Amino acid sequence: MLDKKVAELLNTQINKEFYSAYLYLDFSVYYEEEGLDGFANWYKIQAQEERDHAMLFLQYLQNNGEKVTLDAIAKPDKELKDKMDPLQAALAHERYVTSLIHDIYEAAYDKKDFRTMQFLDWFVKEQGEEEKNAEDMIKKMELFGSDAKGLYMLNSEMASRVYSAPSFVLD
């Protein structure tokens, strides 16, 4: 059995990951309405990844005999007025999610819960990649977004992203 606090944090993270999926789906809708289908695609795939993350946390709890409690998913509250708004909100959100993962890791460390720490190692690495991706998108938009041809090329780059399930296996 998992420590009560660790299990609660893991259970809460399920909701946070589903919220992330909902947030990124909202960004996808915004970009679709703005005519930037490539950015819409990028965030739609990002939403799928976040859903997968939620399912990994759910499965980990179930594999460890813990009860899963699904809470309501909050409506995204970001007001999106400019094509840069979702990008900046995504970076802030990824930094927040990183802090949540670190909090769970710290709780597991305090309890010498090495199995949960090993489970979280993948998420620690993943969050580093997520923050880097968000930072890179902001840099690219700052460099090329104000030029129509540059924005077209950037949108085309985002359109080429394809979904791939996480290479993470739960035992």
Q: Does domain 4-159 have CATH number 3.30.390.30?
A: no
In whole angstroms, what is the distance from residue 130 CA to residue 154 CA?
A: 18
Q: Identify whether the C-beta of residue 56 lies closer than 8 Å to the C-beta of residue 78.
A: no
The chain-wide mean pLDDT, for the chain, equals 95
pTM to 2 decimals? 0.94
Per-residue pLDDT tens over the stretch 48-73: 999 999 999 999 999 999 999 999 99
Q: Identify whether the C-beta of residue 117 lies closer than 8 Å to the C-beta of residue 108.
A: yes
Residue 166's pLDDT is 76
The residue assigned the tokens 């819960």 is 113
Up-side HSE of residue 111: CA atoms within 13 Å toward CB?
16
Per-residue pLDDT tens over the stretch 88-134: 999 999 999 999 999 999 999 999 999 999 999 999 999 999 999 99
Q: Which residue did the predictor score with more confidence, 168 or 135?
A: 135
Q: Which residues contact 131 (CB under 8 A, 6 or more apart)?
A: 91, 94, 95, 98
